Structure 1
Amino acid sequence: MAHVLDSSSVNFTIDPVVLDLGQRFVDAGFELSLVGGPVRDLFLGRTSPDLDFTTDATPDQTISVIKKWADNFWEIGRAFGTIGMKKNGFQIEVTTYRAEAYDPDSRKPVVAFGNSLTEDLLRRDFTINAMALRLPSLELVDPFGGVRDLHASELATPGAPEASFSDDPLRMMRAARFASQLGVSVHDDVRLAMSQMADRIKIISAERVRDELVKLINGAHPRVGIDLLVDTGLAEFVLPEVSALRLEADEHHRHKDVYQHSLQVLEQAAALETGADGPVPGPDFVLRFAALMHDVGKPATRRFEPGGAVSFRHHDVVGAKLTAKRMKALRFDNESIKAVSRLVELHMRFYGYGDAGWTDSAVRRYVTDAGPLLERLHRLTRSDVTTRNQRKADRLSFAYDDLEHRISALLEQESLAAVRPDLDGAQIMALLGLKPGPVVGKAYKFLLEERMEHGPLSPEEAEKKLLAWWEAQPESAVVDPSTETAAETKESS
């Protein structure tokens, strides 16, 4: 199907750089079409900072057309037929028509260049991405019903989904990602193929799976994407800890549905993200992924108590370890692993605050342990309330309001963001006549505990407490006599 688009039929604008590039290829005797996501986004009223084009020109011929036109260009993707460039702030990729297939046991594609736009579109992942806009004529080429599927909000493949997923199993992850980003449903044939071929995802590198997962989690509808992964069995290979949250049926209803609860917490956490100027600008992967993973320790810690209750003791600690292990397997960076697993570990810390009441010392520890994750922890903790018991929900909300108020009050009085002992290591060594070593660490830890328990101390008070502590330590009787304090050194001179 092909027809010429105009601004009256579709609300879109084409930047002059696109038309200019198209004209240059046509003048050189080649075809050029805008293709894939940028065309899809025209129908969705979105703009794409990156522009993808396809052409019958070879990479060498593409370079000859653009080398004097582009601001700069590069050939990193040349083996796959792709030449990249920048022009007027746009990132542009021009790829030769191709016939591409994956070796069933290989992670890398086998590339063969083609000479037909329609055949090129047939090999793309989904019909909504298999549309092209010929340039500069603006003729829409839509042989597989991409516009139809966009209007129906349905994800389908140009050819048989089994062939598409066999060529590139990562497309199964992309289906879940698009479900999250665009809120589209998945055609029954696509869902069935995903279920039957889920184990094929194992040949895809962890890094590529990770990148799709991040996009899914950061999408507008992450719950939909995760649900698709779990329902089709893909999560068994990508996020098995999440699949395990679907605990076997509990006919006595002694505990809530942990899986659905986790999805709700994910949704609620995303809803608490802030704008760009706020403390947690959305989409925030660390907060969202911690929300999804916060209860993954429950299956391993579930116990049926004699009275009929169900307990999950230490599921926070177990869950933090499982989260870190999964993120390492997916090749996440260390900073993200530490942040997400720490939030999972801390997500239960608040419970009991409303009943037992916390000392200022406990509040200081809460803030210090959270460190730079405090604002995310606030949102994760509030999101973890999914009870239908409104009285209980209100009680927990009021309790957390009170905790945040106390934190704010203490922050005004003390620098809780970076709690340190009132004497540093050098002052400790000078006062006690010590050389660097483990004993200095013990003294430092003692002063840190005092700071946590009692708040800031004056230098005189801190020295008095440290000396009293030191007198009770066995090491005080065996300090190296050759060590002099700063004061002794000054007197001897």
Structure 2
Amino acid sequence: MLNMAEGLARIGALAASPVVDALARAFADAGFELALVGGPVRDALLGRPTNDLDFTTNARPDDILRIVKPISSAQWDIGRDFGTIGARVRGEQVEITTYRADEYDGATRKPVVAFGDDLEGDLARRDFTVNAMALRLPGPALVDPTGGVEDLVAGILRTPVDPAVSFGDDPLRMLRAARFSAQLGFDVDPATVAAMAERAETLSIVSPERIQGELVKLLQADDPARGIRLLVDTGLMAKFLPEVPALRLEVDEHHHHKDVYEHSLTVVRQAIELERERNPDAAPDVRLRLAALLHDIGKPATRRLEDGGGVTFHHHDVKGARLARKRLQALRFDSDTIASVTKLIELHLRFFGYAEGAWSDSAVRRYVRDAGDELERL
């Protein structure tokens, strides 16, 4: 639960950090506004680790570059057309973006850049209220025009404006809702969930690369299941990974089998637990988590109902690997990730019988050989 006094103390300390202080002084001396915005403010209030430092300003890109050059060891302007300048200040990477008032072209979802003139207007166009807070510098002063603090206290994700309007501006925000729900352990406001379901079809105009990026970030969460459930329940998952909702197989009164969808979410959770036990300081293993989620996606296509109430899924491992390859290619995953995930899916049944002592020494060697670099994940 958010302790406001402690949270304010943390953002005060953040504002006084050498990097933030250096930037605040430089922009103030140049006559421009500067504010720390979004994730760093949210995470400081929640007591979560603060990683990337994002700033916003009324300075235009050329002015930003001129101001940061004397106090930074490197600069990059790959995002200049969208108002963003990156820099390395005192060993930390920062991004500084001109106030925005984006408009979207309605087809490709690429923003038509329109620079804004005030902080409050910039915050109102952001995705969720908990990300629409800023720390005005050098004050510091907390700016929260959309009720982000209240939503942090309540553990709620809500859009600053009507969710249909927000998701109409950028449908990718619907996937971000699932990701932040998983990362923060927050519930999504019912009106926002309803808008996600109503506008699921609009995800088709978002590029596969952007969808992949959000899926990866979701899988990197401590508990991705919350976000996965939201995507399945709203129909969004069916737009880019339809094999996952298809795992919710119908079960009649005569043919019984385990709930494959719930089983798959359990495997994801258990894989993450084992991952932490083995490598507690390692980064989240996205390949392992993808394979855990998708390992049984071949079952719907291979299900056979037998006399006496039995159900079989012969060769679902091979079928699942083929389906996963096709889907991951469509989402523009790199070839190494695709090869890793599909091998894990194809071999996931091979360990059957080992615990009962039914394997010979040669079977063990063959298993190790076939698994190759994926042995520990498998």
Establish whether TM, by shorter chain, passes 0.5. yes
- Give the aligned partner of residue 191 of structure 1: 193
Picking from 108, 111, 123, the partner of 1:109 is 111
Question: Which stretch of the first structure deviates more once superposed, 202-211 or 292-301?
Answer: 202-211
Following the alignment from structure 2 to structure 1, what is the Cα–Cα distance between the partners of residues 142 and 245?
A: 42
Following the alignment from structure 2 to structure 1, what is the Cα–Cα distance between the partners of residues 314 and 278?
A: 38
1:10 aligns with 2:6: no
Picking from 83, 90, 93, the partner of 1:91 is 93
CA drift at 1:61:
1.8
Q: Which amino acid aligns with 2:101?
A: A
What are structure 2's unaligned runs of at least 5 residues? none
**Larger radius of gyration between Structure 1 and Structure 2:** 1
- Give the aligned partner of residue 260 of structure 1: 262
- Give the aligned partner of residue 336 of structure 1: 337
CA drift at 1:23:
2.0
CA drift at 1:355:
5.7
CA drift at 1:9:
4.2
What are structure 1's unaligned runs of at least 5 residues? 378-493
Distance change >3 Å, CA 101–CA 275, structure 1 → 2: farther
Picking from 13, 20, 23, the partner of 1:21 is 23
CA drift at 1:203:
1.1
- Give the aligned partner of residue 375 of structure 1: 376
- Give the aligned partner of residue 298 of structure 1: 299
- Give the aligned partner of residue 241 of structure 2: 239
8 Å contact 1:316–1:347 — kept in the other structure? yes
- Residue-by-residue CA offset, 1:376-429 (whole Å, 9 max, x unaligned): 11xxxxxxxxxxxxxxxxxxxxxxxxxxxxxxxxxxxxxxxxxxxxxxxxxxxx
Question: Which structure has the higher relative contact order (CA within 8 Å, separation 6+)?
Answer: 2
- Residue-by-residue CA offset, 1:9-64 (whole Å, 9 max, x unaligned): 43342212212211221222211100011111111213333211111111122222
Following the alignment from structure 1 to structure 2, what is the Cα–Cα distance between the partners of residues 356 and 299?
A: 31
Question: Which stretch of the first structure deviates more once superposed, 101-110 or 288-297?
Answer: 101-110
1:311 aligns with 2:312: yes
1:170 aligns with 2:176: no
Following the alignment from structure 1 to structure 2, what is the Cα–Cα distance between the partners of residues 282 and 89?
A: 21
TM-score (norm 1): 0.73
Following the alignment from structure 2 to structure 1, what is the Cα–Cα distance between the partners of residues 235 and 221?
A: 20
8 Å contact 1:295–1:315 — kept in the other structure? yes
Following the alignment from structure 1 to structure 2, what is the Cα–Cα distance between the partners of residues 38 and 229?
A: 26
Q: Which amino acid aligns with 1:206?
A: P
Following the alignment from structure 1 to structure 2, what is the Cα–Cα distance between the partners of residues 316 and 241?
A: 14
- Residue-by-residue CA offset, 1:170-227 (whole Å, 9 max, x unaligned): 1111111111111111000110111011111111111111111011011011110110
- Give the aligned partner of residue 78 of structure 1: 80
- Give the aligned partner of residue 385 of structure 1: none
Following the alignment from structure 1 to structure 2, what is the Cα–Cα distance between the partners of residues 322 and 33?
A: 46
Q: Which amino acid aligns with 2:343?
A: R
* 3-state SS of paired residue (2:209): helix
Q: Which amino acid aligns with 2:10?
A: N
- Give the aligned partner of residue 42 of structure 1: 44
- Give the aligned partner of residue 217 of structure 1: 219
CA drift at 1:316:
0.5
8 Å contact 2:109–2:169 — kept in the other structure? no
CA drift at 1:281:
3.8
Distance change >3 Å, CA 343–CA 227, structure 1 → 2: same
How many residue pairs get aligned? The number is: 372
8 Å contact 1:275–1:281 — kept in the other structure? no
Picking from 118, 142, 145, the partner of 1:143 is 145
Aligned Cα RMSD in Å?
1.8
Question: Which stretch of the first structure deviates more once superposed, 23-32 or 81-90?
Answer: 23-32
Following the alignment from structure 2 to structure 1, what is the Cα–Cα distance between the partners of residues 253 and 307?
A: 17
* 3-state SS of paired residue (1:10): helix
Following the alignment from structure 2 to structure 1, what is the Cα–Cα distance between the partners of residues 255 and 74?
A: 63
Following the alignment from structure 1 to structure 2, what is the Cα–Cα distance between the partners of residues 300 and 362?
A: 29
CA drift at 1:6:
7.9
Following the alignment from structure 1 to structure 2, what is the Cα–Cα distance between the partners of residues 352 and 76?
A: 54
Q: Which amino acid aligns with 1:326?
A: R
Following the alignment from structure 1 to structure 2, what is the Cα–Cα distance between the partners of residues 69 and 156?
A: 37
TM-score (norm 2): 0.94
CA drift at 1:276:
7.8
Following the alignment from structure 2 to structure 1, what is the Cα–Cα distance between the partners of residues 35 and 18?
A: 14
Percent identical residues: 58
Q: How is 1:416-427 mapped onto 2 (pairs within 5 angstroms)?
A: none
* 3-state SS of paired residue (1:21): helix
Question: Which stretch of the first structure deviates more once superposed, 269-278 or 255-264?
Answer: 269-278
Following the alignment from structure 1 to structure 2, what is the Cα–Cα distance between the partners of residues 27 and 239?
A: 51
